[in-house]
Amino acid sequence: MGPTMAFFSISPLGEGESVSAAVARVVDLIEQSGLEYTTTAMGTIIEGKPKEVFDLLFQCHELMQSKYPRVTSKILIDHRQGKTDRLKTKIASLEQKLGYKIK
């Protein structure tokens, strides 16, 4: 199977306004996984083989659930056969069409 990208957001419920400490633990787990990823203010995109991506999503959810009694996750999966390094190439394609670097 070809590469899979997943955009996801995970956070504990009932922990107040700021969840950055909880999210930081998840981002650290993602960093340790060795998969390509990009973190934004609204979530994280990871890229890899489907099993690697799904296993990591499960690990992230388990980590959050081990610390907090209620956790919410939002996940969007994009799978495209024959394409690799899409975290970079999708942005490069967009910039090429626009004629400038995006922020």
Please state, as a whole number, how many other Cβ atoms lie within 10 Å of the Cβ of residue 73. Answer: 14
pLDDT tens-place string over residues 1-35: 568 999 999 999 987 888 999 999 999 999 999 99
Q: Quote the mean pLDDT of the chain.
A: 90
pLDDT attached to residue 33: 97
- DSSP alpha helix (H) spans, 1-103: 20-33, 50-67, 86-98
Tell me, what's the pLDDT at 1? 52
At 67, list the tokens.
């610390």
pLDDT cut 70: percent of the chain above it: 98
CA dist 74 and 45 (Å) reads 12
Residue 3's CB is within 10 A of a number of other CB atoms, namely 21
pTM of structure:
0.83
**CATH class of the domain defined by 4-98:** alpha beta
Q: Tell whether the model's pLDDT for residue 84 goes beyond 80.
A: no
Give the CA angle between residues 39, 26, 12 to the nearest 5°: 105
**Nearest 10 degrees: Cα torsion 54, 21, 66, 60:** 0
Instruction: Kindly list the domain boundaries of the chain, sorted by start residue.
Output: 4-98
81 band by pLDDT with thresholds 50, 70 and 90: confident
